[in-house]
A and B are shown apart, each in its own frame.
Chain A
Amino acid sequence: MDESYDVIVLGTGLTECILSGLLSVEGKKVLHMDRNDYYGGESASLNLTQLYRKFRPDQQPPSQFGRDRDWNVDLIPKFAMASGEFTNILYHTDVTRYLEFRQIAGSYVYRDGRISKVPSNQTEAVSSPLMGIFEKRRAKKFFEFVQGYDFNNPATHQGLDLNTVPMTEVYKKFGLEPGTQDFVGHALALHLDDSYMTQPAKETYERICLYMNSMARYGKSPYIYPLYGLGELPQGFARLSAIYGGTYMLNKKVDELVYEDGKIVGVKSEGEVAKTKAVIGDPSYFPDKVKKTGQVVRAICILNHPIPNTADADSIQIVIPQKQVNRGHDIYIAAVSYAHNVAAKDYWTAIVSTIVETSDPEKELQPAMALLGPIAEKFISVSDLYEPVADGRADGVYITKSYDATSHFETTCQDVKDVYKRVTGNDLKVEGKVKKQEEGGAGAE
């Protein structure tokens, strides 16, 4: 440990592990430490013993839940968009070799007191109860417009320059009902609130495309999920880093960050100092260099049945658009099951989450909890979200953001890119990063 490193990374959450992997691949000498004796930090998946130790330290897991090893319970609910940036990074770093993915079986949206499947193809769209017959015609025109839109060809714009017009104008032009607007803005574009309406429509357009392209890739839903839980993801990138020479130390407390003239020069742990010019880490390692930006409440629920009205799906996402339940932010349900090797046979785990708006966060989840049917056990957490106060260029300390309330890893990738640029001065280009192994692979052959 008494050595010099190009970068020292603190915390083995997904963001830190991706960065560690990318920097090692580029030949940087990386030391990666975590105060916990397991990988993943906030993005770990826990077995039953770990889960109870965290939420119910005075209680043993009940025997009805079966073997410890069958459980890998996520703390933060996220799925990967099949055609998103995260999947792109996985592929180009060859980390896909260590993981197996499975589709999420369906994506649902809540409207007028019931849930309906987000259509995944033409046939489903035609028979979907989400819109009446006339509204379907208007929506069809809207989707044809989106599909045909080309920023370089004004003939496709129908008078709407998406770089400048707000989304409200686009909705107005196609005469979409408020319920359809909820569907487009929240179930497809996955906005968490309605502030997007008055922003230029371009971002919403891009989000709709991301959803549609992801849906088109494997069908059923736009999401994929790693077998054995999200905790596999940081482990995969940590292995990438190690294979390119990164040094890993778990169960390693950080005593002190050592500065000279206001610049980081080392990290002190258990009496020894590792020298470095740059430190990357999650907010928990730098309480005096981060600010709170909000709070997320999450209920981890264990069920011994599929979620009602989902055709017994082994996994689903449900979006409850804010307006449908008189809120300012959407509520999400993310459910996975034994089919993903994250729960004992015939068990599901559903995480219900939203951005906190009141002083009784658990109560805010109520409309979503009511959709789950009988709940065998639930664990509630309220987490503060943090981001760095400075970009790190002055002191060499580059801090990542907390995992937000979005349902996928696209904002995590944005954070990876931001930190990468701040640390290296370059834009991240992931294509061709790793010489890919052409044979073998953990997947089917």
Chain B
Amino acid sequence: MAARPSARDAAASLNNSATSAGGDAQNAANLKPIQVKLVLLGEAAVGKSSLVLRFVNNEFQENKEPTIGAAFLTQKCKLDDKIIKYEIWDTAGQERFHSLAPMYYRNAQAAVVVYDITKPASLDKAKSWVKELQRQANPNIVIALVGNKLDLEATARGVPREEAQAYATEAGLLFSEASAKTGDNVMDVFTEIAKKIPLDQLLASRGRAGGAASGSGAAAGGRVDLNAGPGGRNAQPGGCAC
């Protein structure tokens, strides 16, 4: 991604809320960020992309088309003596006709499942996504249920807060209501997730697997990094490596 000037502000505000335990800034600066895959799920138009843009760029644009060509956005979040780098996967519109691929939430360490507090049906859809995640995703995944469009609460609330809260508690999810439009509670969603992710376990399993988080039984070694380039270290363009 090109420079995102406002990302700094978002990160800064996050740091403020995330470091209540008082991490050693000097120490943290030297640490390698821990990469965490976070996915957005929920019905179309509940405000998933808007929440991401608020979190990453601290901006909100009415009726904004999704960013063409952005595979995912990244945002860092400092927590005590660790730095988490969220790699945030948006749906790219594939939820619109129920065509989201399983690959999307595979290996995600965190999921933000969004509904629209003005639309009761969107909570039902959110619940079915939670079920799907519990069935298919990484068993340690941290799930946050977020009721978006809190700014419309006074005029158009359709889902009582208590109802959603009760469901979230029962299902073991983080819960909050937020507004991508005003920015209310948006940063907190990501901070609370960061606190709940079992980072030590994550790091330990990565050490073993020699790569990103893995599901059942990936043995050590054998991973290859294709992002290093098509040529590879030994490739001989036009020649033959007999």
Interface residues of A in 139-170 (CB under 8 A from B): 143-144, 146-147, 149
Q: Tell me the bound Cα distance from A240 to B210 in angstroms.
A: 26
Give the interface size bracket for A toward B. Answer: 35 or more
B-contact 0/1 string along A423-435, CB 8 Å cutoff: 0000000000011
As a 0/1 sequence over residues 199 to 225 of chain B, the CB contacts with chain A under 8 angstroms (1 = contact) are 000000010001110111111001111
Cβ–Cβ contact B240 & A215, under 8 A: no
Which residues of A are found within 8 Å of B101, using beta-carbon distances? 39, 235, 238-239
By the criterion CB–CB under 8 Å, are A217 and B74 in contact?
no
| Chain B: interface residue total (CB-CB under 8 A) | 55
Q: In the complex, are the beta carbons of B234 and A248 less than 8 A apart?
A: no
Which residues of chain B have C-beta atoms less than 8 A from A87's C-beta? 226, 230
Say which residue of A144, A339, A439 sits within 8 Å of B74 (CB atoms).
Answer: A439
Tell me which of A90-98, A189-197, A258-266, A359-367 binds B.
Answer: A90-98
Complex-state Cα separation, A338 to B215, whole angstroms: 10
Chain B residue at minimal CB-CB distance from A91: B230
Contacts of B22 in A (CB 8 A): none
Contact B74 A101 (CB under 8 A): no
Interface-facing stretch out of A110-118, A205-213, A277-285, A298-306: A205-213
Q: Are A444's CB and B223's CB within 8 A?
A: yes
Taken together as a complex, chains A and B put the C-alpha atoms of A217 and B72 apart, in Å, by 29
CB distance from A416 to the nearest CB of B (A): 16
> Residues 51-95 of chain B: 1 if any A CB is under 8 Å from the residue's CB, otherwise 0?
000000000000000001111101000000000010100001110
Determine the chain A residues whose CB is within 8 A of the CB of B224 once the complex forms: 82, 101-103, 218, 224
Nearest neighbor of A32 in chain B, beta-carbon distance: B99
What's the minimum C-beta distance from A76 to chain B, rounded to whole angstroms?
18
User: A residues 409-445 with Cβ under 8 Å of B?
Assistant: 434-435, 437-445
B240 → chain A closest CB, angstroms: 4
Contact A213 B236, beta carbon cutoff 8 Å: yes
| Among A101, A235, A444, contact of B206 (Cβ-Cβ < 8 Å) | A444
In the complex, whether A344 has a CB less than 8 A from a CB of chain B is yes
**B24: shortest Cβ distance to chain A, in Å?**
22
Complex contact A91–B226 (CB within 8 A): yes
Most A C-beta atoms less than 10 A away, residue of B98, B104, B230: B230
Measured in the bound complex, the distance between the Cα atoms of B32 and A213 in whole Å is: 34
On whether the beta carbons of B32 and A251 are closer than 8 Å, the reply is no
Taking the complex as formed, is B96 at the interface, i.e. its CB lies under 8 A from any CB of chain A? yes
User: B232 an interface residue at 8 Å Cβ cutoff?
Assistant: yes
Contact across chains for B242 and A250 when beta carbons are under 8 A apart? no
Interface residues as binary, B40-54 with A (CB distance below 8 Å gives 1, 0 otherwise): 000000000000000
Contact A248 B71 (CB under 8 A): no
User: Judging by beta carbons under 8 Å apart, are B96 and A247 in contact?
Assistant: yes
Listed residue (A94, A439, A442) with the most chain B CB atoms within 10 angstroms of its CB = A442
Q: Which residue, B74, B85, B226, has most C-beta atoms of chain A within 10 A? A: B226
Q: Are B223 and A441 in contact (CB under 8 A)?
A: no
Q: In the complex, A100 Cα to B210 Cα: how many Å?
A: 12
**A295 is an interface residue with CB less than 8 A from chain B:** no
Nearest CB in chain A: distance from B35 CB, A: 6
Q: Check A440/B74 contact, CB under 8 A, given A70-B216, A100-B212, A341-B217.
A: yes
Q: How many Å from the CB of A282 to the closest CB on chain B?
A: 17
A70 to B106 CA separation, bound complex (whole angstroms): 12
Best-buried of A215, A235, A236, A434 by chain B (most CB within 10 Å): A235
Nearest CB in chain B to that of A242: its residue: B92
Q: Is B227 an interface residue (CB 8 A)?
A: yes
Contact of B217 among A232, A338, A441, A443 (CB under 8 A): A338
Task: Confirm or deny: A51 has a beta carbon within 8 angstroms of a beta carbon on chain B.
Answer: no
Given known A-B contacts A98-B103, A439-B74, A440-B87, A338 and B216 have beta carbons under 8 A apart: yes
Inter-chain contact B97/A250, CB cutoff 8 Å: yes
Contacting pair B92 A243 (CB below 8 A): yes
Question: Which residue of the partner chain A has the closest CB to B35?
Answer: A445
B223 proximity list for chain A (CB < 8 A): 100-103, 443-444
Contact of A439 among B1, B32, B96, B217 (CB under 8 A): B1
Q: Is B235 an interface residue (CB 8 A)?
A: yes
In this assembly, does A254 line the interface, its C-beta being within 8 Å of a C-beta of chain B?
no
Provide the residues of chain B in CB contact with A209, threshold 8 Å: 239-242
Q: A70-B216, A242-B92, A435-B69 are in contact. Are A96 and B235 (CB under 8 A)?
A: no
> Are A208 and B222 in touch, CB under 8 angstroms?
no
Question: Of the candidates A83, A92, A97, A205, which one forms a contact with B235 in the assembled complex, judged by CB atoms under 8 Å apart?
Answer: A83
Q: Beyond A239-B101, A247-B96, A250-B97, is A91–B229 a contact (Cβ under 8 Å)?
A: yes
Q: How far is the CA of A155 from the CA of B105 in the complex (A)?
A: 56
Q: Return chain B residues, CB-CB under 8 Å to A236.
A: 103
Judge whether B234 and A339 touch: CB under 8 Å. no
Measured CA separation A252–B96 after assembly (Å): 13
Contacts of A216 in B (CB 8 A): 234-236, 241
* A383 part of interface (Cβ distance < 8 Å): no
User: Is the pair A146, B242 in contact by a Cβ cutoff of 8 Å?
Assistant: yes
Shortest distance between the CB of A118 and any CB in chain B (Å): 13
With A69-B136, A209-B240 as known contacts, state yes or no: A96 contacts B216, CB within 8 Å. no
Most buried by B among A101, A251, A345, A443: A443
Is there contact, CB below 8 Å, between B212 and A235?
Answer: no
A228 within 8 A of B: yes
Residues on the A chain within 8 Å of B233, using CB: 217
A144 to B1, CA, bound (A): 46
Partner of A440, one of B35, B97, B214, B242: B35
Instruction: Kindly provide the distance from the CB of A315 to the nearest chain B CB, expressed in whole angstroms.
Output: 9
Most buried by B among A101, A247, A338, A441: A441
**Docked pose: A440 CA to B94 CA in angstroms:** 22
Alpha-carbon distance between A87 and B102 when the two chains are bound, in angstroms: 22
For the complex with contacts A242-B94, A247-B93, 6 further pairs of A-B residues with Cβ separation under 8 Å are: A216-B234, A217-B233, A236-B103, A248-B97, A340-B218, A443-B225
**Listed A/B pairs (6) with beta-carbon separation below 8 Å:** A97-B227, A102-B224, A147-B240, A147-B242, A218-B232, A240-B71
**8 nearest interchain CB pairs?**
A242-B92, A209-B240, A216-B241, A248-B99, A235-B101, A147-B242, A235-B103, A217-B232
